[in-house]
């Protein structure tokens, strides 16, 4: 089991105290590397959640500096987590583009979504049907946006979950 802390001091204090999980079976590994040393606070963290694969999918973006949710879409029927992660990145890029915001970094914990954004194509094998048509329409729109805006200025950075704990946009359903 893992737990992250906002500061190294908090993590060290917890580690010394021998924190145990609510189940009382596992001792947590304390993550002491602070993400603030590696990621600018002027960021949007994005993440997706999916109950099943496919299943009810949702995604959101969170302002790292304030912790406020900037956007939240879903749940939508019969999506996948990878599609949600991809849509979250493109949603953040499009939002920042409308604001003429060229500095803000986007962080995601999904290597797959980053690769799909770079290729401007979601490489999903999802079978389309009437229930997930809204997901398909969002995917078409996102891919079109990427093709029409190939040179977005915002960096997309991989969130290092192993070092920093869960991304702040995480839905907490693991």
pLDDT of 22 above 90: no
Average pLDDT over residues 63-79: 93
Q: Which CATH number applies to 34-164: 3.40.50.300, 1.10.10.10, 3.30.1600.10, 3.30.420.10?
A: 3.30.420.10
Closest alpha carbon to 58 in 162, 134, 157, 147: 134
Instruction: For residue 91, count CB atoms less than 10 angstroms from its CB and return exposed for 0-12, middle for 13-18, buried for 19 or more.
Output: buried
Q: Which one is predicted more confidently, 119 or 27?
A: 119
Statement: residue 36 has pLDDT above 90: no
Of 160, 114, 152, 13, nearest in space to 5 by CA: 13
Q: What is the mean pLDDT of residues 82-106?
A: 91
């Amino acid at each position: 089991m893992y737990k992250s802390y906002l500061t190294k001091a908090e993590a060290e204090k917890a580690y010394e105290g021998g924190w145990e999980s609510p189940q009382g079976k596992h001792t947590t590994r304390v993550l002491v590397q602070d993400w603030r040393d590696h990621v600018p606070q002027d960021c949007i963290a994005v993440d997706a959640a999916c109950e099943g694969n496919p299943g009810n999918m949702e995604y959101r973006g969170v302002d790292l500096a304030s912790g406020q949710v900037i956007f939240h879409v879903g749940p939508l029927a019969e999506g996948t987590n990878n599609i949600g992660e991809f849509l979250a990145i493109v949603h953040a890029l499009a939002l920042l583009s409308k604001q003429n915001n060229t500095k803000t970094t986007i962080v995601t914990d999904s290597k797959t979504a980053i690769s799909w954004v770079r290729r401007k194509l979601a490489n999903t094998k999802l079978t389309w049907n009437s229930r997930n048509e809204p997901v398909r329409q969002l995917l078409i729109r996102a891919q079109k946006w990427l093709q029409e805006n190939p040179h977005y200025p915002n960096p997309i950075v991989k969130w290092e979950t192993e070092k920093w704990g869960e991304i702040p946009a995480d839905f907490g359903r693991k």
